[in-house]
Structure 1
Amino acid sequence: MKFPSLAAMAVALPFLLIALSLDFAAAQIGIAYGRNGMGLPPPPRVVEILKQHNIQRMRIFDTDRATLDALRGSDIEVTVGILNPDLGPLASDPNAAVSWVRENIQPYHPDVKFRHVVVGNEIMPENPDTGMFVPLVLPAMRNIHDALCAVPGLRDAAVKVTTAVSTEVVDPSSNFPPENGTFRDDVAPYLDPIVGFLSDTGGPLFASVYPYFAYVADQMGARVIDIRYARLDPDFPGVTTMYGNTYKNLFYALLDTVNAAVDKSIGKMVSTDAGNRTPPDVVSGESGNPTLRGHGGGRSTVGKNSGNEVAAEAVEGGDMGTTENAARYINNLIQAAKCGTPLRPGRPIETYIFAMFDESDKPGDEAERNFGICKPDGETKYPINFN
């Protein structure tokens, strides 16, 4: 075999590193797969569709057996979830967590590549629908983590335990500039210990990041957010904060409000702990744009500035909930995820597009039923470049 010269290797190395970095960045994109609709394809076909589009990560919100069976041998990494009503026994009884892992994870490992277990979804203390679950989240996370670590193969696979929050956990008075992000007073006692647990175990925090809902809420009120900022258009000049950071889009701004809140939470711990702590990564556990507009109700408006910093010029475009705007948002999101935010520069953002399909039976606003990027036959609703 003839080996390349050192000069040839020196020329080729930068291109190889670029190719590897692009592959790594592309691998940050996953898709959230919900099944609350009629006429959707069966899980084996769903896995085929993911492979067709070279999507290497999937998030489901439970541990659906048909989906996990379909993922066997696919090399697609999956994030599974534990529903809010199921937290009680897992929080109170470590043996229940052991049984949960034995029934929902072990039968599929290592044929299925588990990435995260999300314990609870968007639980808020003052929300009457979720407040009762607040004291259950961290104990359930601890018990599931311990149960996973007790299984050698799963411990070696480093399956991370986390929970998912909305951007509503950030105090609205601190959401602009993003660097000022702080957890709400009612949320901090709940989330600070969870942030500490994630720092200790190396797990990320999942956050649902939706510029669409912030924009729609703004259009009903102050009308200061430029649609290009909300759509993540790369030609938007950006918004420069008093700290000198330029936010090119609302996705970065929303994500950094949570990053800043996490940093401040860690800062409080460092001031009382003997050692240093590393803030957990913040994963964009959901982000998307519907092809049909509803009324924007029930979702976060965090990131909507109360001043005029975002209103560099008149708001244009009006309605975000269209096929054209959804296409622009999703394609821009895929590119934005390859880069870091101003508070996390140079770090690709693990991001899960919401959602794979429209979900006709999903309750709530009409927009909630129209976030799908794929038709049931696997074709995308609009052209998408997943690279």
Structure 2
Amino acid sequence: MKRSSKQHLMLIAIAMLCIHTADAKTGVCYGTLGDNLLPPRQIINLCKRHNIGNIRIYNPNPAILKELQGTNISVIVGVPNDEIQGIATDPSLAKSWVQNNIHKYQYVNFRYISVGNEMNPSDNPNIAPYIPTAMQHISDALEAARLRRIKVSAVLSMSVIGVSYPPSAGAFRPEFRESFIDPIIKFLLKTHSVFLIDVYPYFAYASDPTNVPLDYALFTSKSVVVRDGAYKYQNLFHAMVDSVHAALEKAGGAKIKVVVTETGWPTAGGVGTTVSNAFTYNSNLFKSVTRGTPRRPRKPLDTYIFDLIDENQKTPELERHWGIFLPNNVPKYHLSFTA
């Protein structure tokens, strides 16, 4: 279709990709490990201006929650890792946590509460065993506060998947099943909640750029890269998510919806880290989530980009460069969220 000169000039001037995400909820992670970040009011206003309707925060930051009141921006809020054991062993702590951090903010649109972040029993042996019980206690506290609409889950890392290739072979690590994965799946089924997981094609590419094609990681492959029976994959993100779907099926959780709570591409500090690649990844990511995955076609995949703004106190250096925006709220590249 031929564009008018006015439309053409507007596209050049704005250099903005508008992404229509159908029923998929797309959002960003709002991390706060920076000493040069603007106040929460300015950052929440930034989200409003850019039509960012869904965010994830890693703890119940009072200043952020205050600014979210009345905005209709949905939020996933985390129970910090160091509070999990106490909540699991003392239900009264779960009740006070819900009262102080959830019930107190009646005009915040809470979507999920995540008990812990990037958990697995190998890396977190002193915390992970308490997660299923802590999830139940937080859920009970929400029920008592008449907030049952808010679902509880836990954000896991891809390291809980022992086999991921081909995607249909996806399976949880057997040593995690009995005391960790299976109780979580049972809880999610009982409460009709969702499976939260962080999915990073970037790290798969960066660890083996010779054998993981960049175009496969960036959604730009022109042809099928992986054939897995009836399923065909042109991008690594879909393959990784479908390995999670396959693992859930094998563990009795086929009905559980997967939500990707972190994904993204850094702009500096490592292999393939450019602004152009970050824009390509995130813009193509948003197009892809409307279609679902080969294993779950036509089922939009809720996805959160990491990170909203660069966090200069994270380590190593690579971790400081995932933001869509610089600390002064200036965009690195123009990515528009359209509901």
Could you state the TM-score of these two structures normalised by the residue count of structure 2?
0.90
Counterpart pick for 1:59 among 56, 66, 72 = 56
Count of aligned pairs between the two proteins: 319
Question: What is the CA distance between 1:345 and its match in structure 2?
Answer: 1.1
114-123 or 375-384, larger mean C-alpha shift: 375-384
Question: What is the CA distance between 1:134 and its match in structure 2?
Answer: 1.7
Question: What is the CA distance between 1:385 and its match in structure 2?
Answer: 3.5
C-alpha distance in structure 1 between counterparts of 2:153 and 2:27, whole Å: 17
Question: What is the CA distance between 1:89 and its match in structure 2?
Answer: 1.3
Contact 1:198 1:205 (C-alpha < 8 Å) held by counterparts: yes
Counterpart pick for 1:105 among 102, 119, 131 = 102
Contact 1:232 1:332 (C-alpha < 8 Å) held by counterparts: yes
Q: How does 1:45-56 map to 2 (within 5 A)?
A: 45-56=42-53
C-alpha distance in structure 1 between counterparts of 2:194 and 2:225, whole Å: 27
Question: What is the CA distance between 1:240 and its match in structure 2?
Answer: 4.1
The aligned residue for residue 78 of structure 2 is 81
1:374 maps to amino acid: F
2:213 maps to amino acid: D
The aligned residue for residue 319 of structure 2 is 368
Contact 1:32 1:286 (C-alpha < 8 Å) held by counterparts: yes
SS in 1 for 2:28: strand
The aligned residue for residue 331 of structure 1 is 283
C-alpha distance in structure 1 between counterparts of 2:222 and 2:318, whole Å: 25
Q: Which has the higher contact order (CA 8 A, sep 6+)?
A: 2
The aligned residue for residue 198 of structure 2 is 208
Contact 1:320 1:326 (C-alpha < 8 Å) held by counterparts: no
User: Which ranges in structure 1 are unaligned for 5 or more consecutive residues?
Assistant: 1-21, 268-277, 295-318
SS in 2 for 1:105: helix
Contact 2:326 2:332 (C-alpha < 8 Å) held by counterparts: yes
2:223 maps to amino acid: P
User: Which ranges in structure 2 are unaligned for 5 or more consecutive residues?
Assistant: 1-19
Could you say what the CA RMSD is over the residues aligned between the two structures, in angstroms? 1.6
Matched, 1:380 2:327: no
Q: How does 1:161-180 map to 2 (within 5 A)?
A: 161-171=152-162, 174-180=163-169
Contact 2:242 2:295 (C-alpha < 8 Å) held by counterparts: yes
Task: Quote the sequence identity (%).
Answer: 39
Question: What is the CA distance between 1:44 and its match in structure 2?
Answer: 0.8
Question: What is the CA distance between 1:141 and its match in structure 2?
Answer: 0.1
The aligned residue for residue 5 of structure 2 is none
C-alpha distance in structure 1 between counterparts of 2:21 and 2:31, whole Å: 26
Matched, 1:357 2:309: yes
Question: What is the CA distance between 1:71 and its match in structure 2?
Answer: 0.3
C-alpha distance in structure 2 between counterparts of 1:161 and 1:113, whole Å: 14
Q: How does 1:259-274 map to 2 (within 5 A)?
A: 259-266=245-252
Question: What is the CA distance between 1:212 and its match in structure 2?
Answer: 0.4
1:289 maps to amino acid: W
Counterpart pick for 2:261 among 243, 268, 285 = 285
Question: What is the CA distance between 1:193 and its match in structure 2?
Answer: 1.4
C-alpha distance in structure 2 between counterparts of 1:23 and 1:225, whole Å: 27
Structure with the largest fraction of strand: 2
